Amino acid sequence: MPLGKSAKPGHCKCSAFAFAAVMIVVPCAHGSTVYNNGAPDQSDGANITGFVAADDFTLGVGVTLTGGTFWSSANFDPFGDSFSGTIGWAVLADSSGSPGVILFSGADSAPVLTDTGVQIFGTEEWEIDFSLGSVSLGPGTYWLALHESALGTPDDGSTIYWDTTGSQTGSLSQITADVTAASGWSSNTALVNGNGSDLAFLLSSNSGTSTPEPSAAGLVGVGILAIWFSSRRRRLWR
C-alpha cells in the first residue's frame, strides 16, 4: 500500500481532534455574583414597605450590574398576601458613609421568589431575585436601596422586611421615607428589634458578551495548533 494512503487515518484523527478543540471554545462566561454582602441570619429585618432601606457595597473594578438578590419575610404567612409583587430599587453614590445622589433607579414587577424553607419569627423566609437592567459602575463605594413597590409608593399596611446578615461590611444600613431627599437618611431603626445591622444581599453581572472562559480560551490555541499540524501533515504526505 502506498505510504500516502497509510497516512490518511492519522490525518483524520488529527482533524477530528482539531474540530473538537474548536467546538469546546463555544461556551461563554455566564452571569455571576460580583458582590456578596452576607447571607441572612434570621435575626432581624428592615421594613421596606413603610420605608426605603439601603446598604453600601464596594466594587474593586468597574462592572455592569444586571441583577440582585435579597432575602425577605413578612408579618404573616402566606408571604404573597403581604408582598405587592414589585421591588423598587436605586443605586446611589456614597456621601461620607451615607447614601448620596441617585445614580440609577427602577422597579422590577416580576421578581423571582424562592421559598428558602427557613423561618424567621415564625414566618417563611423568601429569596427574591430582581433585575437591575444594566447598571454600569466604576470602582468605588455605592449604596443599594430597596422598597416594596415602585419608589415613592406609600405604605400599603402589609409590611415585608429586608432580612439582615450577621456580618458587617462597610457602613451600617440606613433608612429614609423619601429616597429622593439626599439629607433624609438616618440610622436603620426600621428593624424589627431596632438594632443597626447590615442587610443580606448579592449583586450579579451578566453582560451577555461572548467572552470565552479562561480555560476555554486556552483551548483556542490548542485547536489552532492542531489545525496547523493537520495541514502540515497533509502537505507532507501528498
What's 27-54 look like in SS3? Answer: CECCCEEEEECCCEEEEEEEECCCCEEE
The pLDDT of residue 202 is above 80? yes
Compute the distance between CA of residue 109 and CA of residue 87 in angstroms, rounded to an integer. Answer: 7
Confidence of residue 155 (pLDDT cuts 50, 70, 90): confident
Which of 21-25, 177-181, 199-203 has the lowest average pLDDT?
21-25
**What pLDDT sits at residue 192?**
56
- Looking at mean pLDDT, say which of 43-47, 124-128, 210-214 comes out highest: 124-128
pLDDT > 70 fraction of the chain, expressed in percent and rounded: 68
**Mean of the per-residue pLDDT values of the chain:** 78
The pLDDT of residue 7 is above 80? no
**Phi-psi region at 96: left, alpha or beta (left = phi > 0; alpha = psi -120 to 50):** left
The pLDDT of residue 189 is above 50? yes
Cis peptide before 99 (omega within 30 of 0): no
Confidence of residue 217 (pLDDT cuts 50, 70, 90): very low
Question: Residues in the chain, how many?
Answer: 238
The pLDDT of residue 208 is above 70? no
**What pLDDT sits at residue 195?**
55
The pLDDT of residue 9 is above 50? no
The pLDDT of residue 125 is above 50? yes
Confidence of residue 25 (pLDDT cuts 50, 70, 90): very low
The pLDDT of residue 199 is above 60? yes
The pLDDT of residue 175 is above 60? yes
Mean pLDDT of 165-193: 79
**What pLDDT sits at residue 168?**
84
Is the separation of the CB atoms in 28 and 236 below 8 Å?
no
Is the separation of the CB atoms in 163 and 71 below 8 Å?
yes
Compute the distance between CA of residue 195 and CA of residue 187 in angstroms, rounded to an integer. Answer: 9
**What pLDDT sits at residue 230?**
52
Burial of 2 (0-12, 13-18, 19+ CB in 10 A): exposed
The pLDDT of residue 12 is above 70? no
Which of 20-29, 196-205, 220-229 has the lowest average pLDDT?
20-29
**What pLDDT sits at residue 113?**
97
